[in-house]
Chain A
Amino acid sequence: MPVEVPVEKWAGKVNEVTLGGNGRKSIVIGGETTLPFLKIDGAMPHRPAIAVEVDDVMPADWSPHLIAAWGDALKDPAVWAKKAAEYGADIIVLTLDSAHPERGNTGAAEAKKTVEKVLAAVDLPVIIIGPDVAEKDNEVLIAASSVGRGQRLALGNCVDKNYRSVAAACIADGHVAIAKTPIDINLAKQLNILICDIGLAPDAILMDPTTGGLGYGIEYTYSVMERLRLAALIGDKMTSMPMICDVGEESWRQKEARATSGVPATWGDHQERALAWEGITGVSLLNSGADIVVLQHPRTIALIKDAISKLMA
């Protein structure tokens, strides 16, 4: 008996956002007219991208497995970024962590130097993330913005407290803003409205819905992303931005990825368990609509790359 496959015809389309260009490699993100990897209903014209985190200072609290995997590269963001490119990164995420008031409190001058150095070291598209303190974010992101003028970086995080200045820098220097909200569909849409009101084009915005790691709220993130994507496909222009998820950071900070003692033997080999935490978080969020996953471990890069290839096939 022939089975008729029910096909959903969506009216909406996720925006296509370009990063890089102007001498730098460029990549197009988004463009879906269907739910993730569901090619029966529509098209997924661009593969989800793998971004790899590079910090401007050696991370103080990273897992020994991450430190062992990257070695001395962690001491120099330019070397680290090159290595990440070799491991298969599509995008470099440079985090200006040293600008945090409690972790060095560096300013615009240092940020400029670091960004210049990393931009010179790799030809991949680059995302710059501030230290997650609104006023320091403004300072270093605006500095980064002018250094990277015309190279279509993505700048984040653009939150309710600082969206005006980050969006203005993006407009002035031709960058993309990463609009981050705390796991809430209504707030995500509202921030997009506010950023567009300032005059930044909708195709110069990525959404970060805030990632809950496996066991630490992943189901909330999954559901929020799913609902944002469904709204986009129905035709809501203010939820049609591609989504970026900070998978590495949120996976490697959790107890299951960190604990080496005092846990049941059934938890298994520590490194394999930690890698599984990052891998499962990443694959889950790709399935809820992530267009960019930010990763930390080289082996997860390979694993997610393979998963994406299979899901796209």
Chain B
Amino acid sequence: MLVIGECIHVISKEVKTALENRDKQFLQTLALHQIKSGAHVIDLNIGPQKKTGPDVMKWAVQTVQEAADVTISLDTTNAAAIEAGLGVVKKKAFINSTDATPERLQALMPLAAKYKASIVALTYSGGGLPTTADARIELASELILPVAAELGIPIEDIYLDPLVLAVNCNQDQAIITIEAVRFFKQMSDPPPKTVCGLSNISSGCPKEMRPLLNRVFLTMLLGAGLDSAIVDPLDNALMDVLRIIDSQKAVTPKEKLYLDLYNAYAAGTPFEPSGVDMNIAELRDIVKTVLVIENKTMYAHGYLRL
């Protein structure tokens, strides 16, 4: 899986300060740290930056590139800032992101075509959020992909994002998101790529529970065919799960469980937890988390305690 490192994000106070002060060392250290931990792409979320967006993005891209030869993901709603970043990237970059609204598609898709960039496209068209996998497919096939095709953007450069919602508020959507990824990968030959903002799944959940939800959800998404995800590469346990799945090698019972879960989802067969030793807490917690994501047990902050 292509790992897009999310740590350079304007919501973090330190990042915000570093962007304001043009603190090269901070940005480079954070980029290198992520690359060392396994990130293939460095996401640069600079916020909307209405006035200085192009300058900030250009500076951020050049700063990271000075330290590392890495793919950059340009993450802002400011199209001018994205274009400024595209002008200075050394490798094929990611535009993060458009959605299915005409305004965003018209602003960003031509940039993807002009600069031969990859582009993340959220299956969202304003108004209500899509509530079914079919609604997400429809947005992709009727609004996003036709625009890309018209501009001659190769379908492999389109990264469809099924829009991950918090399991805490929209529990039924978790499994629907996974199914949407599966359908995206069956849309055409070659199929579009898929991506998601993983940690949205655990947004609003107690801090100590978020990594487990993220890990289990990612395993299931990968089974369904997810190509890439925007994640925290500094989360060692998450990266361990990725390694297990990539290598298809599992030694401990926990590793085997993650691999079984992945394989069940990859085969499109129901995950059967019947063989799992539920006396072992770490295995039990994984199974309980699968049941929550599959919407078979109602989520509550204390679900692991039951």
Contact = CB atoms under 8 A, between A and B. Distances in A.
A26 to B, nearest CB: 30
B298 A197 contact: no
A309 to B, nearest CB: 33
Interface in A165-198: 185-187, 189-190, 192-194, 197
| A interface secondary structure, majority | helix
A197 B305 contact: yes
A255 to B, nearest CB: 28
Contacts of A189: 298-300
B306 interface: yes
Contacts of B101: none
Given A186-B168, A186-B171, A193 B298 contact: no
A31 B258 CA distance: 39
A237 interface: yes
A144 to B, nearest CB: 28
A193 B171 contact: no
Contacts of B51: none
Interface in B271-306: 297-302, 305-306
A246 B264 CA distance: 46
A130 B222 CA distance: 51
A185 B297 CA distance: 12
Nearest to B171: A186
Question: Size class of B's contact patch?
Answer: 10 to 19
B171, B299, B302 interface centre (most CB from chain A within 10 Å) = B302
Contacts of B306: 193, 237-238
Given A186-B168, A186-B171, A239 B298 contact: yes
B127 to A, nearest CB: 20
B300 A190 contact: yes
Contacts of B171: 186
A193 B301 CA distance: 9
B305 A231 contact: no
A231 B300 contact: no
A189, A192, A227, A236 interface centre (most CB from chain B within 10 Å) = A189
Contacts of B305: 193, 197
Interface string A193-224: 11001000000000000000000000000000
A239 B303 CA distance: 12
A175 to B, nearest CB: 23
29 contacts: A186-B168, A186-B169, A186-B171, A186-B298, A186-B299, A186-B300, A186-B301, A187-B300, A189-B298, A189-B300, A190-B300, A190-B301, A190-B302, A192-B300, A193-B300, A193-B301, A193-B302, A193-B305, A193-B306, A194-B302, A197-B302, A197-B305, A227-B298, A236-B297, A236-B298, A237-B306, A238-B298, A238-B306, A239-B298
